[in-house]
Structure 1
Amino acid sequence: MSKVALGLAGAGGVAGTGAFAAYQGGLFSPTEKKETPTVRAVLAQGGYEVVSTDDKFKAFFTEFKTDNGFMEEVNKHKKDGDNLPSNDDQGRDALKALCASYLDSKDNLNNAIKWCVLRIQDKPLANSKTWRNIATGDTDKETWKTAFDSAKEGMIKIGVTGIESNTNSDKGYSVLKNWCSENKKRPVSTENKSLESNVISWCAS
């Protein structure tokens, strides 16, 4: 199995299983199969959206810089004299270089999905919608209870753990809140189109 195939198999936690199945099932032509595709090609075939703006690279660096594994990778692309933890602009540039190296490689797919592609929460919301605030404890409990009442039927339909026909909003709102917290972070991809629709419907207002 090629390095990209191994990377695809290991990317299941960030919705990479569909890409791996497509790779195995003949997404690429027989000629292409003879040569391992680049990470860029795999992401494009899977409908992933690569980070492209300076603002988003900077925001990603700021978010991920407390992750030791991330910093170990991004430090490989810092310039002499840079101090990335204390300078987000330098971190932005190093992350851009890191992602470029991933995209042109034939491995590193898992890291590329984690750090170089847009997540559902990174996409602009239409119709003046905003994401419901998750980091609020119970200060907006009633708002989340109302959101749960609207989402309950759909949550049952897709089999969200902990939600049944007799689950009331007093118990269900926290399940919805946790579900939104987790699934907003899933990558934008063809495989996640249905999930993205549910996240926007249930986790934004």
Structure 2
Amino acid sequence: MAQWYARTTVSAVNPDTQTIIEHKTAGVFGQLHESSDEKDPHDIIGMGTDTAILEVVFPQNEWGSDNGDYFSDYHSVKEDGDSWIFQVKNMNKNIDLKDEAIMITLEGIYTVESTIVDGSTRYSEKLNHTDERLEELTLIDLDNKVAYSVSELNNAEISMNGMHIRTFKWVLGSVIEADYNAPLNTSITATPMSFKRTAVNTESVSNSKFGLPPK
């Protein structure tokens, strides 16, 4: 089975300045042979701050001491369906987006190849805008019980619904009724790290490469 990942991006318009705010360096999900559905080295912890204007995170609350908001969530490669819950957060109340429309997109599927070099796994990627998984992925708005295909997202009318945290799910494969149920206690704060990270305090997050498994 093929290894792959995709990147979820989100954008909104600042109601005060009418400039575009976007987060496109996280929201990474996929399947790798070396990953698991639990915590693994390819799952990157979020910044753990309350200053992000807009961000995409995967809330984890069943990983014990590793609970928190993650910027990536890789699972094991499997033949049947899979799903990933993520949240769009606007925690910086100085720029209030709770009443604004948001745009959620996927830039495509990255197929991943891995090789062993000197005992370590090395990865390479290739962006595919027509990968069959784009047809198999469904976005579910868990707060409103609405589903969208990837092709429908450009015209989807999605907003923050008066909230600062919105919860969604990517489903790979057939969608069943249970996929519309939001799990309890998904709004969590990332576990503090032992080192400092720079808070996200600019309106446009850097488009630097993020998401490929560590080499």
TM-score (norm 1): 0.25
Greater helix share, 1 or 2? 1
Larger radius of gyration: 1
